[in-house]
Chains A and B, each alone.
Chain A
Amino acid sequence: MEHTQSFRFFNRGPSPAVRLVFFSLLSLLLLFVDARYQYLESARSTLSVLFQPLQRLVSAPGSLWHGADAFLTLQSNLVRENEELRQRHGTDAVKLQQLQSLQAENQNLRQLLAVQQRADYSMQLAEIAYIERDIFKRKLFLDKGAQANVQAGQVVMDDSGVVGQVTRVYPWLSEVTLITDKDHAVPVQVLRTGLRSIVFGSGDTSELALRYMPVSADIQPGDTLVTSGIDGTYPPGLPVAQVSRIERDPAYPFARVQCTPVAGVSKQRQLLILSGLPKLPERPEAAPETVAEKPKKIRQKKP
């Protein structure tokens, strides 16, 4: 290789091309390891702890602006808002009374039916620390992490519906993948008919898609989708989305169903992390081989 190049007075180490190949291979190796295995998560979390003060510093002007904005509110706005809140409080109080009586009645009925009680989920309030900085991803970071017992897989919601799921936990931060992320799916049920399906993110903040829905399926614009609870990750009955548009083209086997998320996926500052979800019983191993093997084992044990 050296012969082909002109004579060098100074030894500068390997040529740029060699270095490029070396570092590209190193990057590709890292990419492969990071995409397939979990080995690098600890390195990532320690490095992120080192960088966190700097990130706080960078986002400080923005949060200062928010603070100043909240502080300098017009008095008339406050009065108006207070009035609205008072009215809403009145109506809500009435509804709450009804709800309480309904809850009591429901509990009685459930006890009568000896149905397993659905536990109240304990919730944790967390504030959004950063939003995603990568255009490809719908992710955000909350300010509670492993120190506050947040675990990957927990469901994140706001006051109106499901927002997403915790996918990565750092010591003082947790990463939430929004339901609008392209790689994210939520098992849902149409509230009106009980029809089950899966809703996928579209990569856009205000759109979800219900795929593989037959053209003849009973679904209408305005239908509410709630979580079905079948996966064991999402508790049942949380509102997820509302059907906004349906295209039924008989040329295709599936209808195109577009939905809008119920939760203000990109509007909230505080979110709730659900924890302590009831564990579903273990799935039985129902493969035919195991069934066939079991009697043999018993026979072997007997003698």
Chain B
Amino acid sequence: MSAPLPKNQEFLLPASNLFIAMSLLAALLLNWLPWQGVWLALRPDFVALVALYWCIHKPYRVGIGLAWLVGILADVDNASLFGQHALAYSVLAFGGIVLHRRVQMFDLRQQTLQVFPVLLLAYAVYAAVHWQLHGYVAWEYFFGSAVSALLWAPLSVLLQAMRRPRAEAEL
């Protein structure tokens, strides 16, 4: 990123509700892929990433309520208890909303460092609930938060690109 994107001048289409919903659904589908073994430990939480992206870029549209709802959907699938993902994602969304001005000041590489603690906190909340209920925690689980943070930059570029208007005028 030698030449940072002129983010503030960039013209983005307003994100429609449909686009937000579809991106979250796509993230849920990615989480449902049959991950196994080492990949399961390294699996990034796509839903957390997409929810965090929207909380940081559209803090008045996507908030803790939506994150909580998506968390409930994730709980249904994952054979975890109702509310486990929801709690983690609520904390995540809160972090994103509180930090949204600050994160947007940085370029993508620095954003990764800003986003990592928030993700780690959400992972820790999930693990803490599990520990409280079952009395043990698999430490490999936390690798996922680092992998998720590394995926922040590519995911932001992708979602940003999808929100840009089509370049018909340039032709």
Contact = CB atoms under 8 A, between A and B. Distances in A.
B83 to A, nearest CB: 3
Contact of B34 (A26, A57, A133, A183): A133
B148 interface: no
A136 B93 CA distance: 24
Contacts of A35: 81, 133
B29 A24 contact: no
Chain A residues touching B, range:
35 or more
**CB-based closest 4 A-B pairs:** A30-B83, A27-B87, A27-B83, A31-B83
Interface string A118-139: 0000000000001111111101
Nearest to A141: B79
A17 B79 CA distance: 29
Given A23-B90, A130-B34, A139 B29 contact: no
A204 B161 CA distance: 42
Nearest to A63: B34
A230 B98 CA distance: 57
Interface in A164-200: 168, 175, 182-183
B32 interface: yes
Nearest to B32: A58
Interface stretch (B8-16, B35-43, B114-122, B162-170): B35-43
B81 A34 contact: yes
Interface stretch (A48-56, A67-75, A208-216, A236-244): A48-56
B141 A31 contact: no
Interface in B91-138: 91, 93-94, 97-98, 129-130, 133-134, 136-138
Interface in B23-68: 29, 31-36, 40-41, 60, 63-65, 68
B79 A23 contact: no
B160 interface: no
A12 interface: yes
A229 interface: no
6 contacts: A24-B91, A26-B68, A27-B68, A27-B86, A54-B32, A182-B134
